[in-house]
Amino acid sequence: MKKSIERFNEIIREKKLIDVAISALHWDLETQTPKKGQELLSDVVGYLSSKSYGVITSDEMVLLIEELKKKREELTEIEDKSLEEVEREVDKLIKIPVLEYREYNELTAKAQGVWAEAREKNDFGLFSEFLEKIVGFQRRFIKYRGYEGHPYNTILDDYEPGMTVEKLDDFFGYLRKELVPFIKKIKEDGKSVDGAFLKMDYPENKQMEFSKFIAEYIGFDFERGVISESAHPFTLNYDKNDVRITTRYIRNMLSSSVFGTIHEGGHAIYEQGIGDDIAGGILGEGTSMGIHESQSRFYENVLGRSRSFWEPIYGELQDKFEALRDVNIDEFYRGINKSESSLIRVEADELTYSLHIMVRYEIEKALIGGDIEVRELPRIWNEKMKEYLGIEPSNDREGVLQDVHWSAGLMGYFPSYALGNVYASQIHAAMKKDIDVDEALQNRELYRIKEWLNQKIHRFGKLRKPEELLKEIAGEEINAKYFVEYLKEKYGNIYGV
Ligand SMILES: [Zn+2]
């Protein structure tokens, strides 16, 4: 028994080492690999990925899982949860025939290039044939893996364990009912908000200095992390002692680096806060995509776009940038919270963002359920945008072709973004019972907030499922009411409606 556990842990460790090597290559590819060097490193990533797959799905591992499952009561909590997690991963992989899995990976590797070209040329037809194949694979994989209720539940669970179509339908239905009319009202009756000053001249080197400052200010630990640049900001964790984030510096767009850094900083603080008892093991990372997004969005929006956050440090920002000399803190606060229905998800503000996700969720669910066909997507996309956001793209580049996710086979992933917003509001409501959050922000005591999050969320890693965490913190399941109330209060004040 002891031997089996040791061997089980050794195999997990072996997989971990390969995965860290893959991460290091990803970091290199995204931040500094020269264009012509990318092919070689991509091949190495492919090679190591198959090694990682082989280690975890080996016959030996499958036997160990069976053996350990029979002696569950002898395992510690961490061993037991690790076993559950490994079983989840192995189960997902071994039910899919290896040849089909490889064919699928080759397809998605190619599809990303095709998607980029289709977007560039504004030609959905170019991409649709690939997307049809990807959807076909997804439907088949779900059949192999099995499902309960709606087939979409299986891939949803990959990113958000425990989440189901039934829960999401309720959730999005409620958001639609509350937010669509509220956004319309703001558009029609709201005061005008000026955000033009955020698009003035902000020298990149000064943005870089400020990004370092703000990352440290919110609690990012530079002894266990670095910040670099990339075209699309992301966070990457080797383990809790090496967590890396990127941001981007655009000269006439201050928000991009400031809020990008705070957002990725939120992800990183989560990873840096993993408990020592689980660090380095299979449980030693964020528990789900949704909970991860709750942390990044809590820092970015709930804290970072609040007036209290900026009160003690706005002077420092003003000193750095000429463009803000004559902008007072109230104007700044309103400017960074300007809301506008936009066509592009990644540019959407806090208020309208979730509706962009709703469009994608409804389409994915219908595709996987076989209710619609890929060729209908441009029309369906535009109709939904019109219905929820009141605007319609004039071309597919600004519509159905805007996101990379589907070309990479990432289906079931989008809902995490909306869940993150909602979790963040529930977490905020619970935190306020223990801490005066505004006061902590005004007194530059962000460590109090970080410590609270660490105690309630970060240290547990994958030891707790999203639902369990939420129940312990908020005393209930996911509940979008807090998010809607938060938005209505905040934006009602800003827009005077
Ligand atoms: Zn994020």
Q: What is the mean pLDDT of residues 308-318?
A: 97
Please list the active-site residues: 264
* Ligand 1 centroid – CA 40 distance (Å): 28
pLDDT at 28: 92
CA of 455 to the centre of ligand 1 (A): 21
What pLDDT band is residue 2 in, cutting at 50, 70 and 90?
confident
Taking the centre of ligand 1 as the mean of its atom positions, its distance from the CA of residue 461, in whole angstroms, is: 17
Cα–Cα dist 281/84, whole Å: 13
Q: Please choose, from the candidates 416, 417, 288, 415, the residue with its C-alpha nearest in 3D space to the C-alpha of residue 363.
A: 415
Q: Compare 449 and 44 and report the one with higher pLDDT.
A: 449
DSSP string, 218-231: HT--GGGEEEEE-S
Q: How far is the CA of 188 from the CAs of 192, 403, 497, in angstroms?
A: 10, 30, 10
The answer on pLDDT for 338 being more than 90 is yes
- Per-residue pLDDT for 334 more than 80? yes
The per-residue pLDDT for 222 is 98
Asked if the model's pLDDT at residue 208 lies above 80, the reply is yes
- Assign 106 a pLDDT band (cuts: 50, 70, 90): confident
Output the pLDDT for position 497: 94
Q: What percent of the chain shows pLDDT beyond 70?
A: 100
Examine the pLDDT at 92 and tell me if it is beyond 90. no
294 alpha carbon to ligand 1 midpoint, in Å?
Answer: 8
Taking residues 242-262, report their average pLDDT: 96
pLDDT digits (tens, 9 = 90+) for 352-408: 999 999 999 999 999 999 999 999 999 999 999 999 999 999 999 999 999 989 998
Rounded to the nearest whole angstrom, what is the distance from the C-alpha of residue 296 to the centroid of ligand 1?
A: 6
Measured in Å, residue 356 CA sits from the centre of ligand 1 at 15
Q: State whether residue 236 is helix, strand or coil.
A: strand
Instruction: Evaluate if residue 259 carries a pLDDT over 90.
Output: yes
Half-sphere exposure (Cβ direction) of 486: Cα atoms closer than 13 Å: 24
414 CA from centroid of ligand 1 (Å): 11
- Asked if 149 and 166 touch (Cβ cutoff 8 Å), the reply is yes
Let me know the angle formed at the C-alpha of 352 by 351 and 358, rounded to the nearest 5 degrees: 125
116: CA distance to ligand 1 center in Å?
A: 22
Distance 30 CA to ligand 1 centre (A): 16
Whole-number Å distance, alpha carbon 297 to ligand 1 midpoint, is 7
**Residue 35 pLDDT > 90:** no
Q: Which residue has the higher pLDDT, 347 or 166?
A: 166
Could you tell me the distance, in angstroms and rounded to a whole number, from the CA of residue 64 to the centre of ligand 1? 35
Determine the pLDDT at residue 161.
94
Q: What is the largest CA-CA distance in the chain?
A: 70
pLDDT mean over 305-313: 98
Average pLDDT over residues 431-454: 98
At residue 81, does pLDDT exceed 90? yes
Class in CATH terms, 122-497: mainly alpha
pLDDT above 80 for 1: no
Q: What residue has token string 């967590």?
A: 243
Residue 294 has pLDDT above 80, yes or no: yes
Residue 102 pLDDT > 90, yes or no? no
The answer to whether 244 and 228 are in contact (CB under 8 A) is yes
**What span, in angstroms and rounded, lies between the C-alpha atoms of 389 and 400?**
15
pTM of the model: 0.94
- Is the sign of the CA dihedral 109, 114, 120, 122 positive or negative? negative
Which pLDDT tens digit goes with each residue over 49-61? 889 989 999 999 9
Q: Give distance in angstroms: CA of 416 to centre of ligand 1.
A: 10
Ligand 1 centre distance from Cα of residue 353 (Å): 13
Q: What is the pLDDT of residue 29?
A: 86
Does residue 146 surpass a pLDDT of 80?
yes
